[in-house]
Amino acid sequence: MRIALVSPYDWCVKGGVNSHVEQLAKRFRRWGHDVTIFAPASDVEAVSGECYVFGKPVTVPASGSKARISFSWMSPLARKLLAEGDFDIMHAHEPLMPLVPYHLFRYSKAAKIGTFHAAKEGGNRVYHVTKFLSKMNFKKLDGKIAVSPAAVNLITRYYPGYYNVIPNGIEYEHFYRDREPLPEFSDGRTNILFVGRPEKRKGLQYLLRAYIKIRQQEPNARLIVVGAGDFSRYRRIMRAFPDVVFRENVPYEELPRYHKSAHVFCSPNTGNESQGYVLLEAMAAGLPVVASNIEGFAGVITDEVDGLLVRPKDDEDIAATILRVMRNPILAANLARTGQNQAKHYSWDSVAHRVMAYYERILYERHQVAVSSAARPLPVSAAREVE
């Protein structure tokens, strides 16, 4: 099968959508399929051989974060590349995000599939601004996937209909397998782990407030903050607490060692989360998880079964729930065991097989429609003209 995977985001910037595309491509190629990745890139040479660079990205605000997307006019190139229509599948991730998917969808004769990743309680401003273009692109979709119920709720505000839910995946074995804990954290203290960027919606400020309350009752606690970005603002706020440790830009290979050094994981995010793969990575690593009861996280965690959900923006509830886990080893062990089993269902191999099965179904349905159309009798007037 010849597959085109399309990302609207700067391929030089790692993120959830680009990682999703990369992981699918890796497995599809391993299974013998011909895969081409199309994406904009800020450094063409840096991604040479990884993807076909399609436009130069610029930074725009999106869903409480920032996205690097392309507004380059690439239609002539798209027409040249796709005129022969030799792809079987054209799979665009965030297919309504300007502007790369629009060019490729316009000229491709392949079956077109869109995966919707975003979740935002207040709606998506991009869909309002680009309504004319997005409506046109949406109508071209042969198949629709959303990564979570939260993502379904966002896109159906604008485009109602049925969406096949196939989640983001995680590299389960990467976090599951045994790792050596980091020696600096193996001193008998109880370690609470946070993994995320220093963005307001990640809710770190509420965890820091909760930690101050936790320390008053459990002086042996330590908070480890890991993430990509600049945490200097938070360092200044917590300078009186040397047992709050910040580790910025930890290599992916090293990340599971932080999980293996921790005793409880906390994601205090405030909203606009589609799924929460950081929760699943922590669950795969065998950590009990405390997370905000927001739509994206509640689709992954069943409260009191494979994790504990707390009220968003409530540092009192966060502190009380983390203390509950710290003081109850049996609860912590049960949550960790059940969570680890739940995380297996989100392995990339499992997700990629589900996506491939969806491709095959869409191609089969397309073929059936074509056969049916070919077999349909001509209207009487047309039949007479043929005679």
12-25 pLDDT per residue, tens: 998 889 999 999 99
Q: Specify the pLDDT at position 69.
A: 92
* Cα separation values, 158 from 48, 106, 215, Å: 36, 21, 46
124-160 pLDDT per residue, tens: 777 767 777 889 999 999 999 999 999 999 999 999 9
Q: Round the average pLDDT of the chain to a whole number and report it.
A: 91
What phi and psi, each to the nearest 5 degrees, are found at residue 240? -80, -5
365-385 pLDDT per residue, tens: 988 877 766 666 655 554 444
Percent of the chain with pLDDT over 90: 76
Whether the link from the prior residue into 279 is cis, omega within 30° of 0, is no
155-201 pLDDT per residue, tens: 999 999 999 999 999 999 999 999 999 999 999 999 999 999 999 99
* Cα separation values, 104 from 77, 78, 112, 131, 310, Å: 9, 6, 10, 18, 43
Q: Specify the pLDDT at position 119.
A: 85
Q: Specify the pLDDT at position 379.
A: 59
- Confidence band for 72, pLDDT divided at 50, 70 and 90: confident
CATH topology agreement for domains 2-169+348-375 and 172-345: yes
Give me the mean pLDDT over the 91-105 stretch.
93
Q: Specify the pLDDT at position 384.
A: 46
Strands (E), the chain: 2-6, 34-39, 52-53, 57-62, 65-70, 89-93, 111-116, 143-146, 164-165, 190-195, 221-227, 244-248, 264-267, 289-292, 308-310
What is the Cα–Cα distance from 108 to 387, expressed in whole angstroms? 35
Domain ranges across the chain:
2-169+348-375, 172-345
**What is the CATH code of the structural domain delimited by 2-169+348-375?**
3.40.50.2000
234-282 pLDDT per residue, tens: 999 999 999 999 999 999 999 999 999 999 999 999 998 888 889 999 9
For domain 172-345, give the fold: Rossmann fold (3.40.50)
* Cα separation values, 363 from 26, 38, 85, 108, 293, Å: 21, 21, 14, 15, 38
